Amino acid sequence: MRVCVIGTGYVGLVTGACLAHVGHDVICVDNNEEKVKMMKAGRSPIFEPGLSEIMESAIEAGTIEFTTDLGAGVNHGEILFIAVGTPPLPTGESDTRYVEAVARGIGTHLQGGYKVIVNKSTVPIGSGDWVRMIVLDGMAERQKSLAGDSGSADVTPTDIVAEFDVVSNPEFLREGSAVYDTFNPDRIVLGSNASKALAMMQELYAPITQRKFAEDPSLPAVPVVMTDLNSAEMIKYAANSFLATKISFINEVANICDRVGADVTQVAQGIGLDSRIGGKFLQAGIGWGGSCFPKDVSALVHTADDYGYEAQLLKAAVEVNQRQRLLALEKLQKELKILKGKTVGLLGLTFKPDTDDMRDAPSLLLIENLNRLGAKVKAYDPIVSSSGLRDGLTGVLVETDPERLADGCDALVLVTDWKQFQSLDYGNMAKQMQNPVLIDGRNFLNREEMEKAGFRYVGIGH
């Protein structure tokens, strides 16, 4: 099928590249020329395992193209994905101006046969109808400008008869495993009341729902949830809010474990084996971050507010998370007492492993507060240390060698659970410190091994 994806951030680029990989004919549109140039050369502007490889093979197979020309993309696609960002505003609402600009742009270029316009961006509930309205506005604008410019136009106003439907198709991919998640989804959600649009979307996803590119092709077909627009949009917010709440829940339990002398890792295992609870997302730590959870939970709280409902549980999940992010600081104060004049080394800076994303990363609040209390901060991160990202950071000295990080430190804090942190020479690192303290903010390392290496080991909730 002919597909156009507008916006080449995490969601757009992964969607475009994966749909091209399964054989669709894809054009990705972005207004950033530098980025388009880079992608044309087969290079991904984001760090995402496996993405460059599938981009390169799709370019070679001729199933993907990149352009800044929205008109060309709209003309090409029978399915048009809107996949631009909806960053949070200071109020907690989503900033939908990029979605609006794209919807209007689609409207001004739309003509000819039937098209499906897909909202892939996470948009406030009710946006499906709003997008339809903006597209129609764009079409009317074009009609008006052509009518006022009759003599010279090669398209007459009557040519602009475009039929379209809007579908909400929320994305559930995780950064760091986005390509894997796209080919191995738990479900696909499609929201629309137009059966023609839903049928086209099912055809588009058939190679994925039939598990042709899945890790285990013998599994039953991927379930497709077909629903109305508003419910599809709500599913996205509810899923992310539930997962964030689940983490805040286990973090709360961890804090109680700390006080009563129980071990949260074992508690998580013990409750997670109950199939009604499930063992995933029960990893206690110094809180959730990233581009989705904080934004989506706040947006849902805000929507509830708009409709006169106070989402108490979700507000509490956010509050628990804010407090959790400062837990490493509390533990450092308990171990080192005065932080002024001390040096703290952070293992990891990104909000989670296998990504270069620093958005809403717990490390940022920690650095800010350590600086405020007069401590010097050093850090090592497998991606940030070796990229230009380190130049954008203030208040922290970024080391390029993890084993040099410990030199001169009074304590280390493991902030991100990067796999390679499991195999560092901790014995050697401990030797470089006077009273070696290690706060494991992700319960990622083995207490006995760390104690054997010479550290005083402090976990979360055990």
User: What pairing do the DSSP bridges indicate for beta strands 64-67 and 25-29?
Assistant: parallel
Q: Encoding tokens for residue 143?
A: 């009609």
Determine, following the binding rule CB under 6 A, whether residue 369 of this chain makes contact with ligand UDX.
no
d(CA 97, CA 74): 19
Q: Determine, following the binding rule CB under 6 A, whether residue 240 of this chain makes contact with ligand UDX.
A: yes
* 213 vs 207: CA distance, rounded Å: 7
d(CA 210, CA 198): 17
Backbone angles phi, psi at 68, to 5 degrees: -100, 0
Active site residue 292: yes
Distance (Å, whole) CA 29 – CA 25: 13
Residues 6+ apart with CB under 8 A from 136: 107
Binding flag, residue 47, ligand UDX (CB under 6 A)? no
- Is 285 annotated in some ligand binding site? yes
User: Are 30 and 73 in contact, with CB atoms under 8 Å apart?
Assistant: no
Interface with ligand UDX (CB under 6 A), residue total: 19
Residue with tokens 């008006």: 144
285 binds ligand UDX (CB under 6 A): yes
> Smallest distance from the beta carbon of 283 to ligand UDX, in angstroms?
3
Chain positions 287 to 306 lying near ligand UDX, rule: CB under 6 A, are 288-290, 292-293
Using the contact rule CB under 6 A, the part of the chain among 71-79, 146-154, 240-248, 252-260 near ligand UDX is 240-248
- Any contact of residue 247 with ligand UDX (CB under 6 A)? yes
Contact 169, 19 (CB under 8 A): no
Q: What 3-state class would DSSP assign to 413?
A: strand
Q: Is 389 in the site for ligand UDX (CB under 6 A)?
A: no
Q: Is 348 in the site for ligand UDX (CB under 6 A)?
A: no
Q: Pick the catalytic residue from 4, 18, 28, 292.
A: 292
Told to check if 175 binds ligand UDX by CB under 6 A, we report yes
Length of the chain: 462
CB of 229 to ligand UDX, least distance (A): 19
Residue from 9, 42, 281, 335 that binds ligand UDX (CB under 6 A)? 281
* Integer Cα distance of 126 and 146 in angstroms: 31
Tokens representing 350?
């990104």
- Is 122 annotated to bind ligand? yes
The answer to the question of residue 85 lying near ligand UDX (CB under 6 A) is no
- If the CB atoms of residues 415 and 450 are measured against ligand UDX, the closer one turns out to be 415
Rule CB under 6 A: say whether 15 interacts with ligand UDX. no
Short-list 228, 229, 231, 226, CA closest to 205: 226
Cβ closer to ligand UDX: 192 or 240?
240
Q: Which is nearer to ligand UDX, 172 or 213 (CB)?
A: 172
In the complex, what is the shortest distance from the CB of residue 443 to ligand UDX, in angstroms, rounded to a whole number?
10
Contact pick of 164, 249, 351, 421 for ligand UDX (by CB under 6 A): 351
Q: Tally helices (H) and strands (E) across the chain.
A: 16, 14
CA 243 from centroid of its chain's CA atoms: 13
Q: Where are the beta strands (DSSP E) in 18-132?
A: 25-29, 64-67, 79-82, 115-119
What is the set of active-site residues?
292
**Known binding site: residues?**
30, 35, 86, 122, 172-175, 236, 281-285, 289, 295, 352, 359
**Known binding site for NAD(+): residues?**
30, 35, 86, 122, 175, 295, 359
**Known binding site for substrate: residues?**
172-175, 236, 281-285, 289, 352
The residues binding ligand UDX (CB under 6 A) are 171-175, 240, 243, 247, 281-283, 285, 288-290, 292-293, 351-352
